[in-house]
Amino acid sequence: MKLATYNVNGVNGRLPVLLRWLEASRPDVVCLQELKAPEDKFPEAAINDAGYEAIWHGQKSWNGVAILSRVGKPVETRRGLPGDPDDVHSRYIEAAVNGILVGGLYLPNGNPRPGPKFDYKLRWFDRLIDHAAELLASSMPVVLAGDFNVMPTEHDVYKPERWLDDALFAPEVRAAYFRLLDQGWTDSLRTMHPGETIYTFWDYFRNAYGRDAGLRIDHLLLSPSLADRLVGAQVDRDVRGWVKTSDHAPVWIELADAPSRC
């Protein structure tokens, strides 16, 4: 089973890129972020024509998350994280798909730091950690996939010394990420590429993609039963070089039907 995450940076404006990638890569399940489209403007017909069923949580001009599947319709179990009824941002959606619980997320950017946006990011991360603990306690096979807006280590960012004041590399944010992992989650991409420089995002400015001045901020975290089935993980880096593409590249993992390692 192939699961992917992709921050499309505008699902309608970059729909040709998304459809081209879906046809080329054929992931079974995809979590999308930054739809930047209200509920009624999600391109459901085009997604269906590509062979996928979808659920989505839209928002005009900002945010927005979706789960696509070609292995059975996603059965929605949650939209929005618990813990703050006043939070109206479209940043989390969850569904059962083909025997796996999939949580698709778009964690806040948090800049500028310090400030209210950074405080909101930390609160959102805390809510995610609380919800993730409940998911693990259920013993269900779970994947948390999306744009986490955090570079966990210096190995995940080009020239880390330039990012010391940024909310994506803040000590508090990186510590929150590892608090999440310490619950028992597996960072699938780093597990499969432990010593490799591998990025998922390249800014549009200063020829970042051409210079490979990137960041690793898109992650797929696996619960223990799924971690035992992990056999592959990769970034479709070339998609970032396509015309009118997102500043993120798709990231995918492959799961065996049964545990593959002890």
**CB contact set of 45 (below 8 Å; sequence gap of 6+):** none
User: Is 147 annotated in the active site?
Assistant: yes
Phi-psi group of 73: left, alpha or beta (phi > 0 → left; psi -120 to 50 → alpha; rest → beta): beta
Q: What share of the chain is helix, strand, coil (3-state, %, to 5)?
A: 30, 25, 45
C-alpha neighbours within 13 Å on the C-beta side of residue 145: 31
Beginning with the edge strand found earlier in the chain, give each strand of the sheet holding 142-147 in spatial order: 75-79, 92-97, 100-106, 142-147, 218-222, 186-187
Catalytic residue among 6, 52, 92, 147: 147
Distance CA 220, CA 141 (A): 13
C-alpha neighbours within 13 Å on the C-beta side of residue 45: 2
User: Is 106 annotated in the active site?
Assistant: yes
Catalytic residue among 106, 158, 199, 209: 106
Active site residues: 106, 147
